[in-house]
Amino acid sequence: MWSVAARSSTGRGRFSSAAELVFASRSGAWQSAGVDAPYEISEQLEPGIARLLAHNPSAFTYYGTQTYLVGEGEAEVAVIDPGPADPVHVDAIVEAVGGRRLVAILCTHTHRDHSPAAAMLAERSAAQIVGCAPLALETVGPRADASFDGDYMPNRILGDGESIDIAGAALTAVATPGHTSNHLCYAYGDALFTGDHVMGWSTTVVVPPDGDMAAYIASLDKLRQRGDRIYFPAHGPPVTNPSQYVRHLIGHRMQRERQILRLVSEKPRDIPEIVANAYPGLDPRLTAAAGGSVHAHLLDLQRRGLVAEEGGEWRSG
Ligand SMILES: [Zn+2]
């Protein structure tokens, strides 16, 4: 029921909105969280893939973080994105694992809505924390959308293309920097767990200095070339038309880039002015995140010599 509701509430906005951050708040979908979202109830989505929704709804997380349990049969299972430091959610994961051996706890990245439960879950099992690298916090600065988990300590870091075995099937890391520099997706058969790189309800927030727009778009292009059947994002419903969806996301970023170039070619503007022009009617809660995404575009354009900055004002380069 929740999936259907989520799809219908995002279906219109996902492809039609010109503003990448706006429609989620316009739809008001996340504000109804708690009404029909299946919090802490394990849902078997297909053989070997179950989903458990944490109770952390917000303007950035939609209904909340979706933890996935991966592995066929009754012997072994892995957990992807255990979620925020919420004991109720950790209890629900332990219950969903049941009598199976938890072989690995994997995080797509280290925002606080994704990785803090990894250590809590590791304490309650023999599982190792495997996957994305930790971030050097002093390099990332303050974040508008979600803060970083500085306590994250993996037992093993997976490089691009490295796999672990879950009940006889490979779970393979796909390096996708951009949303964060340490972001990984995970491939399992022809399904891809996309974390925050590609989400089912909204476009992804890319905020410097750790977020990087050029890397983000390159990572979208990497997915475009893969041919996965379905994406399971950390937030929002599954994406059942991945190649079309990713092409749309790339086109949307290109459109945003052209819009920013046009605005700064008219006259020098600071970031708040660009946001006010590019995101009319933006929910005030998302202004900082929108400013971050604009900044990420500007830094990318600056590296390419297309814009220049002076005293906080940006102009054509
Ligand atoms: Zn994130």
H/E segment holding residue 314: strand 313-316
User: Tokens at residue 54, please?
Assistant: 């944490």
Tens digit of pLDDT per residue, the chain (317 long)?
A: 233 223 333 332 232 222 233 333 333 444 444 445 789 999 999 999 999 999 999 888 888 999 999 999 999 999 999 999 999 999 999 999 999 999 999 999 999 999 999 999 999 998 999 999 998 655 555 544 458 898 999 999 999 999 999 999 999 999 999 999 999 999 999 999 999 999 988 889 899 989 999 999 999 999 999 999 999 999 999 999 999 999 999 999 999 999 999 999 999 999 999 999 999 999 888 898 899 999 999 999 999 999 999 999 999 98
How many angstroms separate the alpha carbon of residue 292 from the centre of ligand 1? 14
How many angstroms separate the alpha carbon of residue 204 from the centre of ligand 1? 8
pTM of the predicted model as reported, rounded to 2 decimal places: 0.87
Residues with CB under 5 A from ligand 1 (ion): 111, 196
User: Tokens at residue 74, please?
Assistant: 């009754």
How many angstroms separate the alpha carbon of residue 122 from the centre of ligand 1? 21
Domains plus CATH for the chain? 2-242 (3.60.15.10), 257-316 (1.10.10)
How many Å from the N-terminal Cα to the C-terminal Cα in the chain? 51
How many angstroms separate the alpha carbon of residue 221 from the centre of ligand 1? 19
How many angstroms separate the alpha carbon of residue 265 from the centre of ligand 1? 32
Encode pLDDT of 13-50 as tens digits. 232 222 233 333 333 444 444 445 789 999 999 999 99
**CB-side neighbour CA atoms (13 Å) of 112:** 15
CB atoms within 10 A of CB 39: 18
How many angstroms separate the alpha carbon of residue 111 from the centre of ligand 1? 5
Q: Give the separation between CA 40 and CA 185, rounded to whole angstroms.
A: 23
How many angstroms separate the alpha carbon of residue 67 from the centre of ligand 1? 13
H/E segment holding residue 265: helix 242-266
How many angstroms separate the alpha carbon of residue 268 from the centre of ligand 1? 31
